[in-house]
Structure 1
């Protein structure tokens, strides 16, 4: 049922800790009695290696998109009331962590983000020490991935609860993790995350039309060299706002953010009057990050 996400730099020790956690969970579950919470759970560990994802797939956007799709597909397939799913990837992108949070919430299950802290110099050192039969990171790509890393923020609901461990810590905070994943109830899904049995074509058309309208407004706003709060009129005549940065954002970037938002919500039948407020909030968050 719970989802445990590992995050951190490449070669920071995530896989070592993920395997350690999986073993500890299996030992704990075997020790439980039938009347104890979690006794019937099964532990499933997914990693880039188990999913056939090569390091070089992170170099280009198209191949990285395929890698994330494989990770997301594995999570969607295995989330259930009796499974503890551990995802051992970098999870360096906050948009991807948000997607995972939505999947966990729609399944009404608890979730936990574990960040492995490791100095960059140590990551390069550990990468060099990999065995010959292990898939090493190219130094240039390793440097790129560290630069791309978007630090988790425990105050954000999709990064919470956040547990940080050091690459050289002696042991996991296992009791804390167990309490989060086995003893806490999952959050109730809301309109933004609950899955609907079917989505009509009219909803998808509205989703595309309204988000495209917001993107067009931003493009026009930037053409007059404006920045700051842009007021967007919602279909119910309420006001929504987008924080437009002083550095002009390309149309291609805005369209990419729009596509990501549509992909997140295409199977969730969001009320039409909530599309623009949700999209403007999503846009502001992504524009600040970039």
Structure 2
């Protein structure tokens, strides 16, 4: 139904806001999912320690949003979302899916954010001083004049739950079209897919070849990882190219992988063609298929 993009400096109370917003939406009987770094088995400090790690982190978060977004439930992206270009990419995902989208900006003083950071566990969620300062310096604040940052809701988590409640209720009303007459300007509109925000689907002439090629790329990476690991099993297989890594608990033979590929090809060409706009999507869906069918 909608994508809620939380944005804010490190340790600005975004996770608390996400939990409170989830509770309000679920109170209306709506299905809600929160996507964040810990939910994808990533530690925040390591995820933003350098430009390469940060790029990979944003890619994994964006891929998770692409997989989860639909017209049936709400997605709350609980992350920094500190780059305006990245927020534009998220808005394009929402538009391509034909859902609503809004941005919730959490703002707290730097001293309060650092105090909250020091109260976290060092090995779990706490940022080092260098990473914290770098992220704080590079933060690009949302601007409601930009269509990808609108509607924009601002709140201050350090002021307490009572001060946040009216803003959070406004977010819920905006996404469910229940805002009053004076609030009509903040209703999140239903975004419509356009050619600019949607990838052209694979043509019938090369559909099977592209899906087969994407699946074969995945098999190649698995085979290479297992060859390096020996008899102990590959464990985590890195896919790259915006595709989430695959965790294997046991060695998988080439014959078994080929059998899975044949089933996936048959299933894809019969019922999933409209959801496969490019080769990377085929790779991503084959990895998800293996994740479900390889014990």
Q: Considering the TM-score relative to the shorter chain, is it more than 0.5?
A: yes
Match of 1:177 among 157, 171, 191: 171
- The answer for the alignment partner of 2:93 in structure 1 is 103
CA contact under 8 A between 1:111 and 1:180: conserved in structure 2? no
- The answer for the alignment partner of 1:145 in structure 2 is 135
Alpha-carbon distance in 2 for matches of 1:111, 1:153:
14
Alpha-carbon distance in 2 for matches of 1:120, 1:178:
28
Structure 1 residue 7: Cα displacement: 0.4
Q: How does 1:190-205 map to 2 (within 5 A)?
A: 190-198=194-202
**Structure 2 length as normaliser, TM-score?**
0.61
SS at match of 1:10: coil
Q: Give the number of aligned pairs.
A: 192
Structure 1 residue 134: Cα displacement: 4.0
Alpha-carbon distance in 2 for matches of 1:168, 1:120:
11
**Structure 1 length as normaliser, TM-score?**
0.62
Structure 1 residue 186: Cα displacement: 1.0
Structure 1 residue 57: Cα displacement: 2.0
Alpha-carbon distance in 2 for matches of 1:132, 1:99:
31
The answer to whether residue 148 in structure 2 is matched with residue 158 in structure 1 is yes
CA contact under 8 A between 1:5 and 1:87: conserved in structure 2? yes
SS at match of 1:168: helix
Alpha-carbon distance in 2 for matches of 1:133, 1:168:
24
CA contact under 8 A between 2:2 and 2:100: conserved in structure 1? yes
Q: How does 1:75-90 map to 2 (within 5 A)?
A: 75-90=65-80
Q: How does 1:9-48 map to 2 (within 5 A)?
A: 9-29=9-29, 41-48=30-37
CA contact under 8 A between 1:104 and 1:111: conserved in structure 2? yes
Alpha-carbon distance in 2 for matches of 1:4, 1:156:
16
Alpha-carbon distance in 2 for matches of 1:199, 1:12:
46
Structure 1 residue 199: Cα displacement: 7.1
SS at match of 2:42: coil
CA contact under 8 A between 1:110 and 1:180: conserved in structure 2? no
Structure 1 residue 131: Cα displacement: 4.3
Q: 1:123 to 1:175 in 2, by over 3 A?
A: closer
Alpha-carbon distance in 2 for matches of 1:139, 1:157:
34
Alpha-carbon distance in 2 for matches of 1:157, 1:185:
11
Contiguous gaps of at least 5 residues in structure 1: 30-40, 201-266, 269-290
Alpha-carbon distance in 1 for matches of 2:18, 2:51:
26
SS at match of 2:158: coil
